[in-house]
Structure 1
């Protein structure tokens, strides 16, 4: 059971605690056994009812759950081997982004992923998954090496955004992310990305210019966090729930818009309830995506990636008659 229930899970959590107490009885009576059976069914019903109807702000809360699997967890559960590569050959080794050679389903790949950390020590080491310019420089250098040897690239996106501190800006944060976008668009090898929890702003797209982007069911992928959006539009973070609804950044929305290619189902109640099943679902999708692009030539991969991003945001304008315009205005009023 999760250590900390989310606000909308409190009723379920209370039932689970009661169930746990009943299950600890050494010799339960027939009535107790019947109560346990009924309570299990009720918990399943309530959890299904809640998680089938999560609003965008509740999805953000699930994505940020303290027990939610992170990049290092998925590395252990999905990949058969991982040999980490360090440093950017210029400034240092940014631990917010991990890079290295890996093996999945017998196939060699280059792995790039953002890791936030769990406890204070780990979060400090990995800077809460918010990379500096040297992190993005390390990532693109390793990706370019992978392209040279025709190794597919897998990137895991999990960040609130690139680090916004003075030092990062002084070392060219915006330039380095823009450079990554350009250079990733030119890679002559398959690039597959997965959004694990948070995909925030340029910090996410800096390792996400891919041929294929999948996203876990209770993750979000956005140009800005809901708190940042609320601060700009409504001048206070208390409107974060309103901003979350307006941003349309859930997996369901982004699949509809064509921003992502696949929304990956999570275990019942979220990935933190069953990390191994979540990892297995993600692994299956990654393997299928790699197979999809395995026979494409470098020029084809580059063209595919270019076309994919050019299609995002495409819309059509049509001219309506004056009568139709008046009818639309009347309906709006």
Structure 2
């Protein structure tokens, strides 16, 4: 598999409008994509590619070949793969390599991989010498449609997901659709969860399109994937441009994530893929919206369940504690960035296609969890 396979004739460009921190997202594949991407590479004294043990054999040397004409030196850092390694110890491997090679404050980091690599590389870039440029080269569907865009960088803590990090924007995002051809089916499904979320929170026409095209997306049809990535990035660009630091509107992008992050932490990082946890979380968030009277019936819930099942995503959240399951969920959800004054805030639908964030009493959430998750 090559970054230059299957050349396309068109490259989609979506701009993240953030004043001095604005940058383009490029979506395409093959030579035309990379010919355009090199025009946006940040100048620097060196480049460091950060990737993992799974992605490195597939794409690291090809990205190095793209970077070599533009930097005096191109270094490579290969990290262990998986959510379980998204921590201080692994982050320090990036700093060790950069300091060891003499990388200065004009160095440029390139994140080559999925959401874990993107989050950690962005956080490393925000911290190294108080900030160096970085570029996102996402190789998973989840990263292309969500985590690579918007500047949220972080590592996990045993008590909470993504609780240590910074808002730090990349200089460029390069979504090479050819990299999705090597994506295992579970990872593709995990990415589809982040695609699906954009419908309930922002665009029900897109949700209807997903219902009609889910088989093509699962089969990795090129035209369908291109549209799904482009529309997802358009929606995220609109939201991020309006609320860069998640002080209001941007919180809607966390639909299903409050429950989902609790699942990831409670099951142990890596036991559930992020997108799988978000899928189960979206079901719970929709049920909570219905319980609060924002959805008059279960018609949308049934549509969501059908779409998630077709995408081969879980719709049933797991039991985290056989004796005190609701209490365990609530304790984990309290360690959430949307929590204020000890009150957990959830992204709710009112109606589908429009979302808001609201504090919900623990007793109401506990009732939902007890009713929805069988011990």
If the length of structure 1 is used for normalisation, what is the TM-score? 0.29
Task: Find the structure with the greater CA-based Rg.
Answer: 1
If the length of structure 2 is used for normalisation, what is the TM-score? 0.27
